[in-house]
Amino acid sequence: MQEPIYLDHAATTPLRPEALEAMLPYFSGVFGNPSSVHRFGRDAKAALEAARDALAARLGCSASELVFTSGGTESDNLALLGAALAAPEGRRKVVTTAVEHHAVLHAAEELERLGFEVVYLPVDATGRVDVDAARAAIDERAAVVSVMFGNNEVGTLQPIEAIGAMCRERGVPFHVDAVQALGHARIDLSRLPVDLMSFSAHKVGGPKGVGLLYARRRVKLHARSFGGSQERSRRPGTENVAGAVGFAAAAGLACDALEARTAELASLREAMLAVFARELAPDAFVVNGHPTERLPHVLNVSFPGASTESVLMNLDLEGIAAASGSACSSGSLRPSHVLLAMGLPEERVRSAVRFSFGEGNCLKSVTFAAEKVATIVRRLTYK
């Protein structure tokens, strides 16, 4: 019997055994509260700060600039709401894009309710932001700009260096959602013109329930929760020590093997497309996203004539997991806001499937899955 094949690593990844092993002592033996001054607390605090130091070394920043959170969503919310509410008087404008994760878009909507003007930058048919539109939108009224590193649905990389340079020129804090990029693209915060950057452990083989926000030393953040002085009062509450330790272990493995890892995942992506080209008619599938500026592990394909839900249901019956887009909206029949923003025809939007690759995938399993996809698509579109 065929083993289940998991092709939804952009939603979450299996916990790396090395991360689990690193975490285990902090579920039992080292159980102290890192805010306590006695030995039990000091042992937990030492582990927390070691994890912070390790992550800072991987990211090219100071450990004091890293804030542990509960995940990417909280990191995005703290970045946008925190920076906007801390902005000087007269800066009441938020600039973001139409293809952001809902953690950013819903935070922007909340700021709009609080009286901020929100500008949503358009993207082209590949999902890439118009740099000229960004230049026109980022002015002296901007409180914060937020543009993701790589899109979670189609994998398109954004011109964050160019947009970051504009923000630096105008003195505007620049936030980047890098949840999908960590472990798949080289990130050096000592070089990038970025002030705030969000990460999540469970996208790189770490545990769920822990994230990270990089906040450059001179950036002002208005706290979004209250009740303690943890994380330099930027995110109060007892820290998830085991989660932080697991995050550091998983991120270290992903970053150390980045070149080999990205090459392997890109080859799996190409292998799936090669099967589609061999098994399906040229007009039976179309790839969504940028042809070259993209994350290596994400492949979004439309199968005109076959609905997304039908393809996913049939794949699930075959033991193959894929997705319709972002994990936070899977299970919803609403069309992808990303694909709609890209201006794709309705038939492409309603037949799009996201495949994302990672640990446990190999050429054999991906080829098998691709052949099953082709069989299902031929059956669903047979006339």
Which of 206, 234, 256 is the last residue in one of the domains? 256
Same domain (yes/no): 318, 227: no
pLDDT recorded at residue 334: 79
The parts of the chain modelled with pLDDT lower than 50 are none
Same domain (yes/no): 162, 132: yes
Same domain (yes/no): 335, 374: yes
For residues 339 and 153, is the Cβ–Cβ distance under 8 A?
yes
Same domain (yes/no): 217, 269: no
Helix (H) or strand (E) holding 269: helix 258-279
Q: Which structural domain range is residue 290 located in?
A: 5-13+258-381
Same domain (yes/no): 194, 87: yes
Same domain (yes/no): 154, 31: yes
Same domain (yes/no): 243, 268: no
Catalytic residue among 61, 167, 255, 328: 328
Determine how many CB atoms are found less than 10 A away from the CB of residue 209: 16
Annotated catalytic residue 255: no
pLDDT recorded at residue 326: 54
pLDDT recorded at residue 327: 53
CATH of the domain at 317: 3.90.1150.10
Same domain (yes/no): 45, 123: yes
Cβ neighbours of residue 175 under 8 Å, at least 6 residues apart?
Answer: 76, 79, 80, 83, 144, 145, 146, 147, 194, 195, 196, 197, 198
Which of 230, 256, 282 is the last residue in one of the domains? 256
Read off the pLDDT of residues 54-86 as tens digits, 9 standing for 90 and up.
999 999 999 999 999 999 999 999 999 999 999
Nearest to 303 by CA among 270, 329, 276, 278: 276
DSSP string, 32-83: --TT-SSHHHHHHHHHHHHHHHHHHHHHTS-GGGEEEESSHHHHHHHHHHHH
How many domains, in total, are found in the chain? 2
Same domain (yes/no): 176, 246: yes
pTM: 0.95
C-alpha span between 41 and 330 (Å, rounded)? 40
C-alpha span between 365 and 303 (Å, rounded)? 21
Which of 196, 223, 256 is the last residue in one of the domains? 256
CATH of the domain at 133: 3.40.640.10
C-alpha span between 125 and 130 (Å, rounded)? 11
Same domain (yes/no): 189, 264: no
Same domain (yes/no): 235, 265: no
Same domain (yes/no): 63, 174: yes
Read off the pLDDT of residues 228-275 as tens digits, 9 standing for 90 and up.
888 888 999 999 999 999 999 999 999 999 999 999 999 999 999 999
